[in-house]
Amino acid sequence: AAEAAASPSVLSELQQIRQRHHAKYREREEAAEREEEERREAAVREEQERHDAEMAEKLAREEDEARRLQLEADEEHARQLAEQLNPGATDHPMQPLRRGHDVENVPLDDSDIDAQYHQMEDGEGYRAPMRTNYMDQLIPDAPPAADFLSPFPPLL
């Protein structure tokens, strides 16, 4: 009889252990499914970003090509107009319109400007004042004599 009384409590304990085990198993499976879904979403995002970058690069190339073609067409049109307006002016050659090769590289930072500014200083760091012909003057106490009649009363 003692074994019969002990067996329902043992069976209920085993049932509870089995339920906890199944619950933990489901949680692990759900976590694994979530991780797999996150990996798939990350792969889709990366693929979309790669595709977007390729499209942006392609569009930039197309815009550059269109800009180049438009520039060439504009240069040809300008040359034709110059020939029409100056039909016999072959002794004065036209200046080249394309300046892409002669462009001066301008620094985007102030490093070159600072170097030029400091060149104006002598060895001790003294920089002579600029000559502006400015003269310091005091304001006269009496207003200048009015040689003309003003329609307005004098300001005080």
Q: What is the pTM of this model?
A: 0.38
Which of 54-63, 89-98, 136-145 is predicted least confidently?
A: 89-98
* Contact (CB, 8 A) for 127 and 121: yes
Which of 18-27, 31-40, 112-121 is predicted least confidently?
A: 112-121
If pLDDT is split at 50, 70 and 90, which confidence band does 91 have?
low
Taking residue 7's Cβ as centre, other Cβ atoms within 10 Å add up to 10
What are 104's two structure tokens?
Answer: 């001066």
If pLDDT is split at 50, 70 and 90, which confidence band does 75 have?
very high
d(C-alpha 56, C-alpha 62), whole Å = 10
Question: What mean pLDDT is reported for the chain?
Answer: 79
Could you read off the pLDDT of 105-129 as tens digits, one per residue?
555 565 666 665 555 666 676 666 6
DSSP string, 12-32: HHHHHHHHHHHHHHHHHHHHH
